[in-house]
Chain A
Amino acid sequence: MPPKRKNDSIVKVEDVGMDVDTVIDSGSEEEARKRTKNRRAKPQRKAKRVSDDEEDDEDEDEAPRKRGRKKKARPRDSDEDEEEDKRSVKSKGSKASRRKAAKDESDEESEEEPDKRKKGGRATSKKEKEEQNKEKKGGNGKGKERESKGGEKNKKKKNGKLSSSSSSSEGDEDSLSEGEIAALKEQVEEKKKLIATLRNKPWRMKRRLVMLKEAQEFVEKFEGALGKGKGRKLYAYKVMMTKKFIKFKRDFENFKTACIPWERKIKEVESHFGSSVASYFIFLRWMYGLNLVLFGFMFGLVVLPEVLMGLPYGSIARKTVPRAEQDSAMDFSVLFDFGGYCKYSFLFYGYYNNERTIGLLQFRLPLSYLLVGVGIFGYSLMVVIRTMARNANEGGDGGDEGEFTFSWKMFTSWDYLIGNPETADNKYASITTSFKESIVDEQENQKDENIHLRRFLRVLANVMILCCLGGSGYLIYFVVKRSQEFAEMDNDDLSWFEKNEVEFVMSLLGLVCPPLFETIAELEDYHPRIALKWQLGRIFALFLGNLYTFLFALFDEVTAKLEREKSIKNATEWALNQYYANYSSFYNTTNVPPPDVHPSDVVRGPCWETGVGIEFVKLIVSDVQVSYLTILIGDFARAVIVRFLNYCWCWDLEAGFPSYGEFDISGNVLGLVFNQGMIWMGAFYAPGLVGLNVLRLLTSMYYQCWAVMACNVPHERVFKASRSNNFYMGLLLLVLFLSLLPVVYTIMTLPPSFDCGPFSGQEKMYDVVMETIDQDLPAFIGNIFTYATNPGLIMPAVLLMVLAIYYLNTVSKGYQQANLDLKRKMQMARDEEKNRRNNKDSTNEVMKDLEDLLPNKSLIPPPIEEEPPPVEKNSKSTKTKPGSAGKGVNLQKEVSLAAPNPRGPVTRAPGARGRPPGNPRGPQPGPGRGRGRGAPPRY
């Protein structure tokens, strides 16, 4: 590629020349070059000064001069190229003469020349190049400005172009004036700008190519020595790197998305069932993450140390199955009830030993157990609150965001990178769903209703639901009380129903109430999103009854066990004392060895903690069974029946009565929340529970995703879930708090079992902490601790916190208010602008009226004639714009690039200028408009 090489060599030589420039005595050839360069650069610099103020005018009336300039410039350039290419000294003669001529001119300014030239000529060109590169790279901000400029001047350039090509190439250099050279320079710059911004122009390729070729030829002709080759390579490299970088970024994003577990599944569900259903799965995923962390704590700090470093199974009584149970310990039915080996395994509290330190590492297991048990609550609280705060920051309860909801959805929702049919189907579904969501929102906004009737109905519905809740609450209370009576009676006298009355009533309520609430909620006619919240709150209240009965029963059991344990404890102690007394009296020694009893034969207490743990685990397991079976029967079987029996049934099953199930968001969310509450409560008594829950969440993720996609239909009114899952989080927080209470209560007040668990032998569970502080930590920490627990200190601290909360609350309210105000202002500004544009016609009317009122009728015709042109011009210009793509390329370009600009001033000028001084809000038509009317004709 000859042309390229030439350019390169030019660059090289030029570089050398520049370097040597300051050295006065250099080779003749270089000097010659220098001279020519001087000559070239000097006038340019001079002319620049002139042209700065009047460049435009100059350009326009310079057409004739251009010809001469070009004539001159070209030969010189070509000469130079030749010489430098060959590096010959042949043409020295001609050069020398030229040099002499040049010297005359340049002598006066030669002192300041070198540096100035460098700065002026070289530096600017360099800078230009850099800028170009930047622009090319994709910066369009700057390019845009120039674009318009370049666009205007395009014609001029073309003219210049033509003239240059038509002009002959005779050497008549001395006739070239400095101004001409400057103009030439400018043109070259413009061409370069054009090249740089060509990319951004909405032209057809053919036209672009033509323009590009012209511009390039031009530039090459007159700016051959600009080091284009190098710049171009650099540019190509940069483009390549940008592309690579973009690709990398995209890949990285993809990778990040791929790393989010189940993101694809959830998106799929979302695209078919809407964000409300997806919000449940997102919540489920979040819960899974939380439980994974809890599991990590529990497993890493409690279970593993005990299993690895503690005494092995069968070494002590608490780790051995009692002899009475050993026969049936491996039976499935027993194991399934978490009796037998399960009961005496690390899954439960009782297994853990009360040795202060275990293993080589001197791991303090009891302390660790207590701290993890409490730490789980601390961590969960922290995470829940942090998530809530972050969600609140992201803000929005799912309502419309921004001003262009529908337009954006319509024009920007398709992802042009989709190439996979399956993905495309999902995208279609998701777009449809999102449209439906927005439509529901919009319909809700548009609904004009009888507000009094609505209010009455809402109050009515709430009263009814409150009655329901009260009734069911009383029913639960009644049944629980009755069951206590039954418990005191003999077991054999009771019928099956009486024994299971509580469970029966509870599940009946759970079955009947939610649909009932839903039906009543129809009365209220809330937006589905708000209705969901109400529904959640109501069912939550109902489930609280569930929780209450469960805890009630549990506490009864615990107190009973505690009593039994007390008697057993006394008996054991008595037996032990007897043994010691007998032993010492028999062998007559005080050194009594511990009684040699096989661990499985030791008399042991009921160990109420393990009992509680087992209750929780059983509850969770039965919950899992029930919910999975419900899905299997209620959704899957139903779907199968509806689908296949429909062929031979007397009515349309799919559209008629059973139809397919909808996904029950509120029920599932509450199930998840209460399940988590159980985990929090039970984790202290059954460390294995957390692991179980992780498994449960994992399976239910897959299972429910499948069930939803396979057997459910989308809701009738797909609605957008609130972007922050904060309502779910709020429920979770409440449950967390509720489940915190009983656990802390037991830790602080109930005495631990005497023969099982890490706290056996202590008065209270938290004595472990006291012990550690007393024995293992330096004394001053103990002091600090006593001070810190002093009520005198706690009270002020609480007070301070309350005050801080109050203050922060006030501040946040202030911010909210400010936010609202700003939003309102933006809305107002937008409306105002819209109105201003809309009112063009109406203001015309007003103005016409005004004109009519004027005494001098002769003034009427001009305004009426005058008025249309600006408007029409606009519309005409925009109309011709893209349609003329085929033929009128020139017009199209100019309009599409410049259209927004003239438009703004035309419409805005009247309003802005026409404001009466006394009235700052100014949209009143009147004198202002009237005066502003004068503006349009300027265009």
Chain B
Amino acid sequence: MGNKQTIFTDEQLDAYQVRLVCVFYSRLHGRYHELAPHLVPMDYTNEPDCKLPLALIVNMPELKENPFRNRIVESFSEDGMGNLSFNEFVDMFSVLSEMAPRELKAIYAFKIYDFNVDNYLCKEDLEKTLNKLTKEELTPEEVQLVCEKAIEEADLDGDNKLSFADFENMITRAPDFLR
């Protein structure tokens, strides 16, 4: 661990270690620090309370081209506004990483697609998703059709919106749901 000890206390590292190997962890911290060198201290031993605004995080190359970048960051931030503390930042990357299990990803995917945060994917959510995916190239009728079809396909309890159970049921069968 060598020089990394200056950033985290041993205990902190120890705690993180089970989830992430410390090398990755400090690298992640490097990334976090890079985003806003004036905001984020290099020394993390006393757990400073700082948050990065959404605008900064969204510009990371990993997220820059993602149509859902704002939603991703928002759904990981505790305040819902897209401000991420370092812990949440790590959280986001651990979920987006390849190592994360599918169940976990499904949960967060659901949160990401749930634009109006009512814990259901309703038609408006789907429309927003679709428009983001296609850069609004489809006509309104087509969007309407697609959303209706999607709900019809996946909605098992017939309430015309997708609950998490519906979503999970659908997404776990998808052949290319790997992220």
Stretch in A18-26, A168-176, A240-248, A284-292 with 4+ CB within 8 Å of B: A240-248
Residue of chain A at shortest CB distance from B149: A406
What 0/1 pattern do residues 87 to 99 of B give for CB contact below 8 A with A? 1101100101011
Q: Is B58 at the interface (CB under 8 A from chain A)?
A: no
Q: Which B residue's beta carbon lies closest to that of A137?
A: B99
Partner of B164 from the list A136, A235, A896 (CB cut-off 8 Å) is A896
A206 beta carbon closer than 8 Å to chain B = yes
Would you call A938 an interface residue if the criterion is a C-beta within 8 Å of the partner chain's C-beta atoms?
no
Known: A195-B18, A418-B65. A882 touches B101 (CB 8 A): no
Q: Mark B158-179, 1 if CB is under 8 A from A, else 0.
A: 1000011101101101111101
| A407 with B119, Cβ < 8 A, contacts A198-B18, A205-B90 known | no
> Across the interface, do A432 and B137 meet the contact criterion of CB distance under 8 Å?
yes
Task: Label chain A's interface by main secondary structure.
Answer: helix
Q: Are B135 and A428 in contact (CB under 8 A)?
A: yes
Question: Are the C-beta atoms of A204 and B164 separated by less than 8 Å?
Answer: no
Contacts of B179 in A (CB 8 A): 416
Given contacts A140-B101, A144-B103, A404-B153, is CB(A205)–CB(B66) below 8 Å?
A: no
Produce 1/0 per residue, A486-504, CB < 8 A to B.
0000000000000000000
Please tell me which one of the listed residues B17, B103, B111, B174 contacts residue A411 in the complex, with CB atoms under 8 A apart.
B174
> In the assembly, what is the distance between CA of A879 and CA of B117, in Å?
10
Is A416 a contact of B66 with CB atoms below 8 Å? yes
Residue of A nearest to B95 (CB): A202
Asked whether A242 lies within 8 Å of B99 as measured between CB atoms, the reply is: yes
Is the CB–CB distance between B99 and A239 below 8 Å? yes
Q: Tell whether, in the assembled complex, residue A420 and residue B165 are in contact, meaning their CB atoms are under 8 Å apart.
A: no
Check if A232 is an interface residue, CB within 8 A of chain B: yes
Residues of A within 8 A of B142 (CB): 435-436, 439
Q: Is the beta-carbon distance between B146 and A439 smaller than 8 angstroms?
A: yes
Collect the chain A residues with CB atoms within 8 Å of residue B66's CB: 414, 416, 418
Contact A837 B157 (CB under 8 A): yes
Q: How far is the CA of A662 from the CA of B28 in the complex (A)?
A: 49
Looking at chain B, what size class is its interface with the partner chain? 35 or more
A424–B62 Cα distance when bound, in Å, is 12
- Given contacts A1-B10, A204-B87, whether A216 and B15 have CB atoms under 8 Å apart is yes
A413 at interface, CB cutoff 8 A? yes
**A613, B152: Cα distance in complex, Å:** 61
Cα distance A212–B170 in the bound complex, in angstroms: 32
- Nearest-neighbor residue (CB-CB) of A205 within chain B: B87
Tell me whether A882 and B110 are in contact in the complex, defined as CB-CB below 8 angstroms, given that A414-B68, A419-B65 are known contacts: yes
Q: Which residue of B lies closest to A418 (CB)?
A: B65
Stretch at the interface among B29-37, B38-46, B126-134: B126-134
From residue 23 to 72 of chain B, which have CB atoms closer than 8 A to chain A? 61-62, 64-68
Contact B64 A411 (CB under 8 A): no
Name the residue of chain B whose CB is nearest to the CB of A199: B19
Contact partner, B99, options A201, A243, A443, A840, Cβ 8 Å: A243
A216-B14, A411-B109, A900-B165 known; A428+B158 contact, CB < 8 A:
no
Q: Would you call A837 and B149 a contact (CB within 8 A)?
A: no
Report the bound CA distance from A70 to B78 in whole Å: 36
Report Cα–Cα, A204/B107, bound state, in Å: 13
Residues in chain B near residue A208, CB distance under 8 A: 19, 91
**B98 touching A246 by the CB < 8 A rule?**
yes
At the interface, yes or no: A138 with Cβ under 8 Å from chain B?
yes
The number of A-B residue pairs with CB atoms under 8 Å apart is: 191
The reply to whether B126 and A232 contact each other, CB–CB distance below 8 Å, is no
Known: A204-B78, A242-B99. A878 touches B149 (CB 8 A): no
- A886 and B104: CB pair below 8 A? no
Indicate whether A199 sits within 8 Å of B62 (C-beta atoms), given known contacts A436-B138, A439-B146, A886-B78. no
A335, chain B: closest CB distance, angstroms:
52
**Most chain A beta carbons < 10 A, residue from B68, B113, B119, B173:** B119
Q: Does A403 contact B (CB under 8 A)?
A: yes
Task: Name the contact of A407 in the complex, choosing from B78, B103, B154 (C-beta under 8 A).
Answer: B154
Q: Flag whether A704 is at the interface (Cβ < 8 A).
A: no
A213 located at the interface, meaning its Cβ lies under 8 Å from any Cβ of chain B in the complex: yes
- Can you name the residue of chain A whose Cβ is closest to the Cβ of B118? A883
CA distance A424 to B65 in the complex (A): 6
A213 & B87 in contact (Cβ 8 Å cutoff): no
Q: Which of chain A's residues have a CB closer than 8 A to the CB of B135?
A: 428, 432
Chain B residue numbers with a CB within 8 Å of A424 are 65
29 contacting pairs across A/B (C-beta < 8 A): A140-B101, A198-B18, A199-B94, A199-B100, A200-B103, A202-B104, A202-B108, A204-B78, A236-B21, A239-B99, A402-B173, A404-B174, A408-B175, A408-B177, A412-B171, A412-B176, A414-B66, A431-B134, A432-B134, A432-B135, A435-B130, A436-B142, A834-B156, A881-B164, A882-B117, A883-B117, A886-B78, A896-B164, A907-B157
Q: Residues on B close to A: CB < 8 A? A: 1, 10, 14-19, 21, 61-62, 64-68, 78-80, 87-88, 90-91, 94, 96, 98-104, 107-111, 113-114, 117-119, 126, 129-130, 133-135, 137-138, 142, 145-146, 149-150, 153-154, 156-158, 163-165, 167-168, 170-171, 173-177, 179
The 9 closest A-B pairs by CB, nearest first: A205-B87, A838-B158, A424-B65, A140-B101, A205-B91, A406-B150, A432-B134, A406-B149, A202-B107
